[in-house]
Amino acid sequence: MKRGVGVGVIGYGTIGAGVVRLLRQRVKAHGDRLGFPVRLARVADLDTSSDRGIKLPTGVLIDDARALIDDPSVNVVVELVGGVEPARTFILEALRAGKHVVTANKALLSEHGVALSREAEKRGLLLGFEASVGGGIPIVRTIKESLAGDTNEEVYGILNGTANYILSAMSEGEGEFEEVLARAQAMGLAEADPSYDVDGIDSVHKLVILVGLAFGKKIKARSVHVEGIRSVSSKEIAYAREFGYRVKLLAVARDTPAGVEARVHPSMVPESHLLAQVSGAYNAVCIKGRALGNSVYYGQGAGMMPTATAVLGDILEAARSLRDERPPSSEPWGQPLARLSSARVIPMGDTAHEHYLRLTVVDKPGALARISSILADEGIGIATLSQHEIETRGAVPVVLRTYRSAESAMKRALARVGRLRDNRAKPVLLRVEEGLGGRE
Amino acid sequence: MKRGVGVGVIGYGTIGAGVVRLLRQRVKAHGDRLGFPVRLARVADLDTSSDRGIKLPTGVLIDDARALIDDPSVNVVVELVGGVEPARTFILEALRAGKHVVTANKALLSEHGVALSREAEKRGLLLGFEASVGGGIPIVRTIKESLAGDTNEEVYGILNGTANYILSAMSEGEGEFEEVLARAQAMGLAEADPSYDVDGIDSVHKLVILVGLAFGKKIKARSVHVEGIRSVSSKEIAYAREFGYRVKLLAVARDTPAGVEARVHPSMVPESHLLAQVSGAYNAVCIKGRALGNSVYYGQGAGMMPTATAVLGDILEAARSLRDERPPSSEPWGQPLARLSSARVIPMGDTAHEHYLRLTVVDKPGALARISSILADEGIGIATLSQHEIETRGAVPVVLRTYRSAESAMKRALARVGRLRDNRAKPVLLRVEEGLGGRE
Condensed to tens digits (0 to 9), the pLDDT of residues A194-207 reads: 999 999 999 999 99
CA distance to partner chain B, nearest, from residue A425 (Å)? 37
Q: Which of B99, B106, B144, B206 is catalytic?
A: B206
- Residue B7 pLDDT grade (very low, low, confident, very high; cuts 50, 70, 90): very high
How far does CA B88 lie from the centroid of its chain?
20
Distance CA A269, CA A435 (A): 10
Nearest CA in chain B to A27: B149
Domain count, chain B: 3
By Cβ distance, the residue of A292, A312, A334 closest to B149 is A312
- Asked whether the predicted pLDDT for residue A178 surpasses 90, the reply is yes
Q: How far apart are CA A370 and CA B1, in angstroms?
A: 73
Do A312 and B149 contact (CB within 8 A), yes or no? yes
Cα-Cα-Cα-Cα dihedral sign, residues A113, A115, A121, A125: negative
Total-model pTM: 0.91
- Quote the pLDDT of residue A171: 95
Work out the burial of residue A56: count CB atoms within 10 Å of its CB; fewer than 13 is exposed, 13-18 middle, 19 or more buried. Answer: middle
C-alpha–C-alpha distance, residues B437 and B433, integer Å? 10
Residue B342 resides in a domain: no
- Report the candidate in A219, A350, A213 with the shortest Cα–Cα distance to residue A285: A213
- Asked whether the beta carbons of B305 and B181 are under 8 A apart, the reply is no
The radius of gyration of chain B from alpha carbons, rounded to an integer in Å, stands at 24
d(CA A387, CA A252): 31
Q: In this predicted structure, what is the pLDDT of residue B32?
A: 78
- The contacts of residue A132 (CB under 8 Å, 6+ apart) are A103, A104, A105, A106, A109, A140, A206, A209
pLDDT at residue B2, as a whole number: 53
Collect all residues with Cβ–Cβ distance below 8 Å to B420 and sequence separation of at least 6.
Answer: B361, B367, B370, B371, B374
R_g (Cα) of chain A, nearest Å: 24
- The pLDDT value recorded for residue B108 is 96
Is the omega angle on the peptide bond into residue B86 within 30 degrees of 0, that is, cis? yes
- What residues contact residue B276 under an 8 Å CB cut-off, 6+ apart? B245, B246, B248, B269, B270
Is the pLDDT at A27 greater than 80, yes or no?
Answer: no
Q: Is A172 on the interface with B (CB under 8 A)?
A: no
Nearest to A197 by CA among A157, A150, A229: A229
The pLDDT value recorded for residue B1 is 44
Q: Are A368 and A357 in contact (CB under 8 A)?
A: no
User: CB distance from A98 to chain B under 8 Å?
Assistant: no
Place A296 in a pLDDT band, splitting at 50, 70 and 90: very high
pLDDT, position A1: 44
Report the C-alpha gap between B34 and B192 in whole angstroms: 41
Q: Specify which residues A128 forms β-bridges with.
A: A102
Distance CA A324, CA B13 (A): 37
| Domain final position from A300, A326, A359 | A300
- The pLDDT tens digits for B137-163 are 999 999 988 887 789 999 999 999 999
B159 and B295 assigned to the same domain: yes
**Contact (CB, 8 A) for A135 and A299:** yes
CA distances from B382 to B289, B356, B358, B401, B426 (A): 32, 10, 13, 6, 19
CB–CB of B315/B78 below 8 Å? yes
From A342, A364, A396, the end of a domain falls on A342
Domain annotation covers residue B345: no
Q: Among B430, B107, B176, which residue's Cα sits nearest to residue B184?
A: B176
Best of B9, B140, B295 to mutate (most A CBs within 10 Å, chain A): B295
Tell me if A292 and B136 make a contact (CB, 8 A cut-off).
yes
Average of pLDDT values for B80-103? 96
Which amino acid, A98?
G
Residues A158/A182, Cβ–Cβ less than 8 Å:
no
Residue in chain A closest to B31 (alpha carbons) equals A335
Q: How many CB atoms lie within 10 A of CB B178?
A: 10
pLDDT exceeds 50 at position B440: no
What's the residue count for chain A?
440
Domain that holds residue A113: 5-135+304-342
Residue A316 near residue B148, CB atoms below 8 Å: yes
Asked if residue B343 is part of any domain, the answer here is: no
Flag whether B63 is in a domain. yes
DSSP-assigned letters across all residues of B93-137:
HHHHTT-EEEE--HHHHHHHHHHHHHHHHHTT--EE-GGGSSTTS
Residues of chain A with Cβ-Cβ distance to B148 below 8 Å are: 33, 312-313, 316
Q: Is the pLDDT of residue A209 over 90?
A: yes
Mean pLDDT of chain B: 92
Please name which of B23, B212, B10, B208 lies closest in space to residue B94, comparing C-alpha atoms: B10
Residue B422, pLDDT above cutoff 60: yes
Residue A439: predicted pLDDT: 55
Residues A276 and A370 grouped into a single domain: no
Active-site residue identified among A99, A206, A217, A288: A206
In three-state secondary structure terms, A48 is: coil
Amino acid (one-letter) located at A38: V
Which chain B residues touch A328 with a CB distance below 8 Å?
329
Rounded to an integer, what distance in angstroms lies between the CA atom of residue B153 and that of residue B141? 18
Whether residue B40 is predicted with pLDDT greater than 50 in this model: the reply is yes
Same domain, yes or no: A145 and A287: yes
Q: Are residues B89 and B38 in the same domain?
A: yes
- Chain A contact set for B300 (CB, 8 A): 292-295
Residue B378 · residue B409 · CB < 8 Å: yes
**Does B367 contact A at CB distance below 8 Å?**
no
CATH number at residue A338: 3.40.50.720
Q: Do A300 and B294 touch (CB under 8 A)?
A: yes
* End position of a domain, from candidates A242, A276, A300: A300
Do residue B330 and residue B294 come from a single domain?
A: no
Beta-carbon neighbour count of residue B124 at 10 Å? 14
Contacting A residues, span 328-357, partner chain B, CB-CB under 8 Å: 328-330, 334-336, 339
Are A122 and A198 members of one domain?
no
Q: Indicate the residue type of B169.
A: A
Q: Is residue B24 part of a domain?
A: yes
Contacts with B305 from chain A: Cβ below 8 Å: 291-293
Report CA dihedral (A29, A34, A39, A40) to the nearest 10 degrees.
Answer: -90
The Cα of B228 is separated from the nearest Cα of chain A by a number of Å equal to 26
Average confidence (pLDDT) over A245-270: 97
Residues A404-410 have a mean pLDDT of 95
- Evaluate if residue B18 carries a pLDDT over 50: yes
Residue count of chain B, please give it: 440
Between positions 148 and 167 of A, the ones with CB within 8 A of B are 148-151
Residues 16-45 of B with CB under 8 A from A: 18, 22, 26, 29-30, 32-35
* Interacting residues of A165 by C-beta distance below 8 A, sequence separation 6+: A184, A189, A190, A280, A281
Taking an 8 Å cut-off on Cβ atoms, the answer to whether A313 and B30 are in contact is no
Is the domain of B96 the same as that of B158?
no
Contact A306 B329 (CB under 8 A): no
A57 touches chain B (CB under 8 A): no
Domain shared by B271 and B313, yes or no: no
The helix/strand/coil state of B192 is: coil
Q: Does A3 have pLDDT greater than 60?
A: yes
B178 and B68, same structural domain? no
Residue B346 lies in a domain: no
CATH number of B422's domain: 3.30.70.260
One domain, residues A386 and A425? yes
- Report CA torsion sign: B65, B67, B68, B69: positive
Place B407 in a pLDDT band, splitting at 50, 70 and 90: very high
Q: How far is CA A170 from CA A177, A183, A190, B280, in A?
A: 7, 12, 15, 32
- Chain B environment of A274 (Cβ under 8 Å): 274, 277, 298
Alpha carbon distance A308, A373 (integer Å): 55
A147 touching chain B per CB within 8 A: yes
Q: For residue A160, give the nearest of A264, A37, A77, A247 by alpha carbon.
A: A264
Instruction: Give the other-Cβ count within 10 Å of A214's Cβ.
Output: 26
Phi, psi of B429 (to 5 degrees): -120, 130
Regarding beta strands A282-289 and A293-300, do their DSSP bridges make them parallel or antiparallel, or are they unpaired? Answer: antiparallel
Write out pLDDT tens, residues B55-69.
999 999 999 999 999
Verify that A22 and A73 share a domain, yes or no.
yes
Assess contact for B12 and B20: CB atoms under 8 A: yes
Residues A256 and A385 in one domain: no
A253, A154 Cβ separation under 8 angstroms: yes
With an 8 Å Cβ cutoff, are A299 and B294 in contact?
A: yes
Q: Look at residues B434, B430, B411, B432 and name the one whose alpha carbon lies nearest to residue B229.
A: B430
Q: What is the ipTM of this complex?
A: 0.87
The alpha-helical segments, DSSP class H, found in A216-282 are: 234-242
Identify whether A364 is a catalytic site residue. Answer: no
Greatest mean pLDDT range, A15-19, A302-306, B149-153: A15-19
At A222 the three-state DSSP class reads helix
Query: Are A313 and A27 a contacting pair, CB within 8 Å?
Result: no
Strand segments, DSSP code E, in B139-281 are 152-158, 217-218, 225-226, 245-256, 259-270
Give the least confident one: A298-302, B112-116, B211-215: A298-302
Residues of A in contact with B289 (CB under 8 A): 309
Domain containing A226 — which CATH number? 3.30.360.10
Instruction: Classify burial at A206, counting beta carbons within 10 Å of its beta carbon; exposed 0-12, middle 13-18, buried 19 or more.
Output: buried
Cα separation, B318 vs A275, whole angstroms = 34
Q: pLDDT at residue B267 above 70?
A: yes
